[in-house]
């Protein structure tokens, strides 16, 4: 199989498995998505989806959010972890959205990445899922799978993102990054991985990964 064949195999398999792609984080607009993605750092999407309704019942827009204290925000989001940093980020970015962007989430990587606690991955998720701008946010699943599939060297998420954008058609990026996440969770997890369930890795997987699996 050539690399192009492998890429096409990934696309075809994921399209067959996930013709309709659910968005992992519950939200109703760009602002609530931005907050949910920020909360998801080192926290499961399931936990975030349990906490955001509690937070958004009090403040689902920047104008209401800045009326809350950082301590009040921190108390609500504590189960998501990193609550001191995240609460400051949520309060701080809400203030900036009001002061600089009329309370709206900007449709720009540059402006998003200027916001407190918002890095490139968070900005990429918002740009792709809220605004439909082609992006390829790389989470732990995508980073792991592109290495397992021998489509990236696994040295950094930055390199994985570059490789993904180089290999996959731009018009598929927004769908693919979600499809790969779901595939990683359901068929190719980091723990409890069963190769027989993982058709993509079984077919195109990196030789060293397969050898290591069979040694266990």
Q: Residue 154 belongs to what domain range?
A: 3-21+137-215
The whole-number pLDDT of residue 70 equals 98
Instruction: Give yes or no: residues 84 and 124 share one domain.
Output: yes
Domain boundary among 110, 129, 148: 129
- Cβ-based burial of 49 (10 A; exposed 0-12, middle 13-18, buried ≥19): middle
Instruction: Give yes or no: residues 201 and 123 share one domain.
Output: no
Q: Is the pTM of this model over 0.85?
A: yes
Domain boundary among 81, 103, 129: 129
155 is catalytic: no
Question: Of the listed 6, 45, 139, 163, which one is catalytic?
Answer: 139
Residue 83 CA to residue 70 CA, distance in Å, equals 10
For residues 149-172, average pLDDT: 96
Instruction: Give yes or no: residues 115 and 34 share one domain.
Output: yes
Residue 181: which of 39, 33, 12, 17 has the closest Cα?
Answer: 17
Q: How confident is the model at residue 215 (pLDDT cuts 50, 70, 90)?
A: confident
Structure tokens at 128: 């792709």
5 is catalytic: no
Q: What are phi and psi of 24, to 5 degrees?
A: -65, -35
Instruction: Give yes or no: residues 104 and 160 share one domain.
Output: no
The whole-number pLDDT of residue 82 equals 97
Residue with structure tokens 């907050």?
35
For residues 22-47, average pLDDT: 96
What DSSP state is assigned to residue 78?
Answer: G
Residue 76: which of 53, 43, 54 has the closest Cα?
Answer: 54
Instruction: Give yes or no: residues 179 and 201 share one domain.
Output: yes
Q: What are phi and psi of 190, to 5 degrees?
A: -70, -40
Residue 69 CA to residue 72 CA, distance in Å, equals 5
Domain boundary among 129, 162, 182: 129
Question: Of the listed 45, 74, 121, 198, which one is catalytic?
Answer: 121
The whole-number pLDDT of residue 125 equals 97
Q: In sequence order, what are the residues at sequence separation of 6 or more whose Cβ sits closer than 8 angstroms to the Cβ of residue 114? A: 96
The whole-number pLDDT of residue 116 equals 97
For residues 36-65, average pLDDT: 97
């Amino acid at each position: 199989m050539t690399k192009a064949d492998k890429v096409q195999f990934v696309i075809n398999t994921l399209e067959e498995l996930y013709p309709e792609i659910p968005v992992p984080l519950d939200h109703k607009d760009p602002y609530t998505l931005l907050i949910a993605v920020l909360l998801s750092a080192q926290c499961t999407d399931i936990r975030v989806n349990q906490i955001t309704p509690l937070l958004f019942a009090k403040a689902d827009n920047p104008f209401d959010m800045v009326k809350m204290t950082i301590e009040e925000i921190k108390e609500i989001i504590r189960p998501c972890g990193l609550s001191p940093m995240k609460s400051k980020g949520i309060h701080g970015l809400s203030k900036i959205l009001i002061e600089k962007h009329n309370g709206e989430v900007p449709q720009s990587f540059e402006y998003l990445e200027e916001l407190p606690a918002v890095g490139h991955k968070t900005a990429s998720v918002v740009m792709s899922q809220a605004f439909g701008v082609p992006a390829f946010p790389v989470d732990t699943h995508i980073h792991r799978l592109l290495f397992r599939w021998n489509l990236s060297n696994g040295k950094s998420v930055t390199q994985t993102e570059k490789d993904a954008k180089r290999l996959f058609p731009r018009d598929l990026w927004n769908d693919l990054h979600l499809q790969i996440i779901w595939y990683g969770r359901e068929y190719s997890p980091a723990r409890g991985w069963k190769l027989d369930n993982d058709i993509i890795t079984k077919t195109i997987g990196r030789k060293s990964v397969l050898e290591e699996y069979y040694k266990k």
